[in-house]
Amino acid sequence: MRALPEIRTAGYYPLKPDSFRREYCHPTIALHQHYYDCRLKVGDRTLEIRSGDVTFSPARVTTRYELAKEGFHHCVHFFPASSGGRSIHLPLHIPLGPSSSRVFGQMQTIGRFFARGQADLPPDHALCGMAARVALQGLLLWLAVFDGERRRFRATPKNTGKLQKCIEILDSRFRESLSISQLSREIGLSQNYLSAQFRRSAGVTINQYLRRKRMELARHWLATTRLPVKVIAAESGIPDPQYFNKQFRQCFGVSPARFGGRI
């Protein structure tokens, strides 16, 4: 976690249809995001892969593919950092569901920076190579966090996408007057089930999550703008100034006016 991985190759490559006949083996760890459905054999394990999923192939372990037609994947072959510090552990297969597009963009970025770094064109090839390594480290850490959250959903995998949709709605629309009944209708889960599963996943209730998002935005605006407190309260999603003041004090132990240097 304190040192960067070393990338040996990164890019966007085709994979021809095959029925486990072609073997792949390499000295590096291979991170792939697949844009096809297939069966993947990693050593003695067989994984069912869906388009958008991420896999890790361990170093010096044979992998084979079975897919119906030619597809493409992003891949990054790398050596993990050996700093002697704390390591993260990732599974062979991470189903991404709705989050696959987010990883697609990060894989593109890693491949683009790596290619520019390999071109050895001054003055920025060294900078691009470092940017690729930093981007890969960030992606690996993000995948570790995502996988931890995914495992909490394991008891109800069919609803994982709906719970992720709930978080996306809260993150993008937290300034609106959102209610649990409204969220449950939009997502297609009962209020009680949604509330229970959200708390199990996020560790807080939906209302607590909303409050945290609103207070974080308010704190940011108080610290970086000269907007009046009542305007910040309304823009943060809490139009009642007295209630906003109470909520802010509970979160940060100080009034919004004092925090923002307005008194």
What is the arrangement of strands in the sheet containing 93-94, beginning at the earlier edge strand?
6-15, 71-79, 29-34, 54-57, 93-94
Question: Given this model, what pLDDT does residue 18 score?
Answer: 81
This prediction has a pTM of 0.69
Instruction: Answer whether 15's CB lies under 8 Å from 71's CB.
Output: yes
Q: Residue 99's closest CA among 37, 49, 155, 163?
A: 163
Residues in the chain: 263
Question: Given this model, what pLDDT does residue 91 score?
Answer: 94
Beta-carbon contacts of 10 under 8 Å, excluding residues fewer than 6 positions away, are 74, 75, 76, 77, 110, 111, 114, 115, 132, 136
Q: Give the C-alpha separation, 87 to 78, whole Å.
A: 15
Ranges of the chain with pLDDT below 70: 1, 83-85, 120-123, 152-160, 263
Per residue in 108-138, pLDDT (tens digit) is 999 999 998 888 666 677 889 999 999 999 9
Q: For residue 205, which phi and psi values (nearest 5 degrees)?
A: -75, 170
DSSP letters along 208-231, please?
A: HHHHHHHHHHHHHHHHH----HHH
Question: Given this model, what pLDDT does residue 66 score?
Answer: 92
Question: Given this model, what pLDDT does residue 219 score?
Answer: 92
Tokens of 120: 């050895």
Tokens of 5: 């991985």
